[in-house]
Amino acid sequence: MSGFGVYIHWPYCAAICPYCDFNVYRAKDRDPEPLLEALIADLEGHAARFPTSPAQTLFLGGGTPSLLNGRQIGRLLAAVERILGLTPGAEITLEANPEDRSRFAEQAAAGINRFSIGAQALDDAALKALGRFHASAEAEAAVEAAARTGGRVSLDLIYARHGQSLSDWDKELRRALSWPVEHASLYQLTVKAGTAFARAQARGVLAAPGPELASAFYEATLMTTQALGFPAYEVSNHARNRAAWSAHNLLYWTGGQWLGLGPGAHGRLLTPKGLIATEAHARPEAYIRAVRETGIGWDQSYCLTGEEAGDERLLMGLRTVLGAPIADIEAFWGRPMRRDRLALLQSEGFLTAEDGFVRLTAKGLIVADRIALELSTP
Ligand SMILES: C[S@@+](CC[C@H](N)C(=O)[O-])C[C@H]1O[C@@H](n2cnc3c(N)ncnc32)[C@H](O)[C@@H]1O
Ligand code: SF4
């Protein structure tokens, strides 16, 4: 276990995008105040129950936390500082929609030092199809506004979209990476059950790229980013250099601990009982009520079994260039990893096993989940 951070989920959005299945709600007619108060009370409830340590990272994710103004963000950050403490130079990230760029300066003044900007596409027709309110010029303006604050800047893009060609994607990617960003999260479009896109696909209005084209998109992404000096350090995450890696996301991928606050937030905490997984009530009203009534927003918390903790460490570690630590995983499982399977997957070019770590090759990254399953089966 290494590192500790805080994730705060702000679930409200100006509108719900047709591809998104995150825990999100329309911001219209919602007063942010009860949720802000509940988040701070939840933090206090946590500190009353568990020993605390200063946070090395704080991630305000969503939903759309960039809807919050500098004063509101300042209140949240001050509460974390007062109740847990923040280590010097802590990474404090805000997930931000481009249309909220006029607030970036006040948000940075409140303590945000890293902006993760949801550009999603650099093609105006595609942005419209994604249900977004911004044009690509506004995404560029948002990157510039974030860079002007002196903060670190990351960009989110979605590719393998309906109707997008490999050469369209190549052009978008090259343009985006010429902007003043140090990091990019590049996600293949996943059409999730229950979303408007899933309904459109079911009606035959939209057609998703088949598995071969999807693999071609991923391989092209790896090659172009590498050539442009943004190599992948995780399946979907790319950075200019080691210092630009997301310290907060590394907690998830390297067995760190984090406190999850806000509707639907997940957490992982090491307690005297063992490693516990926590999940907060998903609906904002239920979360706010739970915090008022019990002092904490959790809907459920349970101790991970050794098998579950080992599987999670393997799957997450395999997603990164750091790899998965074999001895740690075996210690969680209480049994050895199958060396015959490791050797076979290595001979087939999917992975390497050196210095006690399993690391996936580019060929292995495409099928990371399947390899994790093969290695975790006794
Ligand atoms: C939960 S969203 C929050 C970010 C912010 N509200 C925004 O929309 O820009 C985080 C990121 O997940 C990605 N994402 C959401 N739904 C997706 C999907 N169905 N397929 C691929 N990426 C998705 C988007 O790139 C998005 O920026
Ligand atoms: S993609 Fe972002 S803005 Fe759109 S619904 Fe999801 S969280 Fe909200």
Whose CA is closest to atom 3 on ligand 2? 13
Q: Which helix (H) or strand (E) holds 358?
A: strand 357-360
Q: With a 6 A CB cut-off, is 19 part of the ligand 1 pocket?
A: yes
* Tens of pLDDT, residues 241-298: 999 999 999 999 999 999 999 999 999 999 888 899 999 999 999 999 999 999 999 9
* Residue among 95, 161, 173, 249 whose CB has most ligand 1 atoms within 8 A, to mutate: 95
Residue 187 pLDDT > 50: yes
Q: What does the angle CA 356 – CA 362 – CA 365 come to, to the nearest 5 degrees? A: 75
| Residue 21 alpha carbon, nearest atom of ligand 1 | 16
Is residue 190 helix, strand or coil? coil
Q: Which structural domains are found in the chain, ordered by start?
A: 4-251 (3.20.20.70), 307-376 (1.10.10.920)
C-alpha of residue 20 to centroid of ligand 2, in Å: 6
Rounded CA separation 27/30 (Å):
5
Longest distance between any two alpha carbons in the chain, whole Å: 59
Q: Predicted confidence band at 1 (pLDDT cuts at 50, 70, 90)? A: very low
Q: What does the angle CA 139 – CA 248 – CA 93 come to, to the nearest 5 degrees? A: 40
* Residue among 22, 115, 186 whose CB has most ligand 1 atoms within 8 A, to mutate: 22
The model carries a pTM of 0.96
Q: Which helix (H) or strand (E) holds 139?
A: helix 136-148
Whose CA is closest to atom 2 on ligand 2? 63
C-alpha of residue 55 to centroid of ligand 1, in Å: 25
